[in-house]
Chains A and B, each alone.
Chain A
Amino acid sequence: MSDFLIFAIFFAVLAVLNLYRLAKGPTAADRQVAGDSADILVSCALVLFSLYSGRGIYLDIAIISAMLGIIDTMLVGRYLDRGRWHYDADSDHR
């Protein structure tokens, strides 16, 4: 039974390692990618920990975590898109 706990701790440690890139990364895109990866790793760790402890509430938290991860990635992507390059409004490249 405790093998799931070991794997869950391993995934959580990988998520913490990703936070190093989130703190250091030179650009906003680096930080966002590292945060997204940490989000997915935390979801995996929650699934495994739910199997270890036998409580279903962690699965719901994992679903919500995955949903919020995609939303903030889309937000930062759209924000960066209004950046330095400005195309013509009637160009077919939007």
Chain B
Amino acid sequence: MKAIFYKEWLKVRWYFILAIATSLGFSIFSILRINRVIELKGAGHIWEVMIQRDVIFIDLMQFVPIIMGICMAIVQFAPEMYHKSLKLTLHLPYSALKMTFVMLFSGFLLLLGTFFINMIVMNGYLSIVLAPELKWQILNTATVWYLAGIASYFLIAWIVFEPAWKRRLLNIGITLLLLKIFFMSDMPQAYNSFLPYLAIGSILIASLSWLSILRFKAGKQD
């Protein structure tokens, strides 16, 4: 299992560093933006706008996690599909099912790590300038976006592993619709009651990749 982590790490290490840098860049930029407003108009302005107009000031971040998830899946799994190197991976004397999930799990962990660092940075700053209610307003709303990042990672993995193009198109269609669910409302905290189910769903769709792997092993073609 260590060896699988090692291989996944070799594939994604540069991307991982880039992803951390980029997402941190976005978080820090959002923070600076809030800070600037505070300097110009005072903290009260931020509070009032947040309370009365449902503004959360980090809307810039909205699609960052989903793009990070998509890129992570592509960076991690496209090399496996290059000249079908996945055959090498699946030929190793290790259960194909475990292999699939250890690979997905390693990417998932790295993605989670990236998101976690983001959250810690934002949480740190926002705790200083905002009341907990407002901070949670921002972080709760962002959680949906981060979940979308996780879901997009698993869904793109499912698409990348799929051996046949026709089926791949179907997968892409399903993926687009599923990801749309994460972006149905601009209202902060609108997802609160749905969030736990969304989280469970996002994790469960990891299992779809197994179907693609089975089809790969069965040599399915267009």
Asked whether A and B interact, the reply is no
Residues of chain A at the chain B interface (Cβ within 8 Å): none
Residues of chain B at the chain A interface (Cβ within 8 Å): none
